[in-house]
Amino acid sequence: MRRPKAVLIVGVLLSDKCEWETIEEILRNKFGEIKDKTEPIEFSFTDYYKEEMGNKIKRFWVAFKEPVYEDQLADIKNFTISVENKFSENGRRTINLDPGYLNLSRLILASTKDFSHRIYLKDGIYGEVTLIYKSKKYTKLPWTYPDYQLSSLHEFLKSVRKSLLV
């Protein structure tokens, strides 16, 4: 049986209390070289993280060079949770790492939260189809988060997706 491979994408929410360079080194040691990264933007899509992470949150995404197997997503999510916990202060995260994978047809994100549109993977982790690639563009779904609807992210993902065509 063939195990499909995909590009590992990590969505990053970074508070001003956390240094990206330290986190980046940990992620590179685990997953290999970062192939591409979006420019950081101010995270102003929701107040959900404000109490935990403060007012100054940056949002960006990274894509790793080495492909991952799609069935590794739950293990990857549990690793990123351990990184978040390591850099927490007084039980509050200073960084939020949202791993997912990009294949030719979709972006799947990992989550610890169950919901009607999420499928249980293992070890308390669910998978969610967040974006689908159709007619040469990314299409949102009713549950797609606002920051995942950004055209700049879609352009980034299209660029990353090209590496799967080689």
pLDDT the model gives residue 166: 73
Q: Tell me the mean pLDDT in the region 116-138.
A: 97
Q: What is the dihedral of CA 144, 115, 62, 1, to 10 degrees?
A: -110
- For the chain, what is the domain count? 1
Q: Tell me the mean pLDDT in the region 78-106.
A: 96
Cβ burial of 89 (10 Å; 0-12, 13-18, 19+) is exposed
Q: Tell me the mean pLDDT in the region 116-127.
A: 97
Token couple for 129: 């189809």
In this structure, is the dihedral angle defined by the CA atoms of residues 45, 61, 54 and 74, taken in order, positive or negative?
A: positive
Q: How many helices (H) and strands (E) does the chain have?
A: 4, 10
What are the Cα distances from residue 55, in Å, to 3, 13, 19, 148, 158?
42, 12, 16, 20, 31
Secondary structure (H, E, C), 78-143: HHHHHHHHHCCECCECCEEEEEEEECCCEEEEEECCCCCCCEEEECCEEEEEEEEEECCEEEECCC
Per residue in 25-66, pLDDT (tens digit) is 999 999 999 999 999 999 988 787 888 888 899 999 999 999
Q: Tell me the mean pLDDT in the region 96-116.
A: 97
pLDDT the model gives residue 149: 97
Report the length, in residues, of the chain: 166
Show the domain range for 127.
5-162
pLDDT the model gives residue 150: 96
pLDDT the model gives residue 62: 98
